[in-house]
């Protein structure tokens, strides 16, 4: 039986994975499979997290959040989305052009400060340029630990070059607590 891999985040900001055949007894891999860069300034210099992995043909594809700076003069870090792939779930190759989805340059947009918690599906029935579908949490309020997140949507032909939906956000907070 083929082993099942469970990817998880362990603070201080690294990705690990466990392996199980029966999904009961997990064995933790001893080192992170993906880590922050610890470089200042860097798009993932502070942390990596929120990994989402799909199995696409013979490749594992991971989209994840990176926390870091746009420039050395930033007051606050920003959250952006990166991409990596693996054939075994242990050795991951990060895309050299990361981040693959960046914050909006227009500060009035719902995702001008952060793009996080990616969820990706591959829809083989969709038009070729919309094969990969992404939903993500966008945030606008800079330097706020809790703020009004809204859900955005983007699509891609390859899972790397994303086009944000023109009518984003697709889900906004109600009148309750303000979080989606």
Write the CATH number for 86: 2.115.10.20
Q: How far apart are CA 66 and CA 37, in angstroms?
A: 9
Note the pLDDT tens digit of each residue in 108-148.
Answer: 899 999 999 999 999 999 999 999 999 999 998 666 656 67
Q: Are 54 and 124 in contact (CB under 8 A)?
A: no
Q: Is 100 within a domain? A: yes
Q: Which pairing describes strands 59-68 and 34-35: parallel, antiparallel, or unpaired?
A: unpaired
Q: Is 87 within a domain? A: yes
Q: Is 99 within a domain? A: yes
Domain count, the chain: 1
Q: Is 171 within a domain? A: no
* Contacts (Cβ under 8 Å, ≥6 apart) of 100: 63, 81, 82, 83, 159, 160, 161, 162
Q: Is 57 within a domain? A: yes
> Range of 84's domain?
50-164
Q: pTM for the whole thing?
A: 0.83
């Amino acid at each position: 039986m083929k082993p099942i891999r469970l990817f998880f985040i362990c603070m201080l900001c690294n990705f690990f994975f466990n392996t199980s055949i029966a999904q009961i007894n997990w064995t933790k891999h001893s080192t992170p499979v993906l880590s922050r860069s610890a470089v200042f300034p860097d798009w993932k210099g502070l942390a990596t997290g929120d990994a989402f992995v799909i199995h696409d043909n013979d490749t594992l594809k991971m989209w994840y959040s990176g926390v870091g700076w746009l420039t050395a003069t930033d007051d606050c870090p920003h959250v952006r989305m990166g991409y990596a792939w693996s054939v075994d779930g242990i050795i991951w190759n990060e895309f050299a052009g990361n981040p693959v989805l960046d914050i909006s340059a227009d500060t009035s947009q719902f995702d001008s400060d952060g793009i996080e918690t990616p969820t990706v599906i591959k829809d083989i029935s969709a038009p070729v340029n919309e094969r990969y579908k992404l939903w993500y949490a966008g945030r606008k309020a800079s330097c706020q630990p809790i703020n009004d997140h809204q859900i955005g949507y983007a699509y891609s032909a390859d899972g790397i070059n994303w086009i944000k939906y023109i009518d984003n956000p697709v889900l906004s907070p109600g009148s309750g607590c303000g979080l989606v």
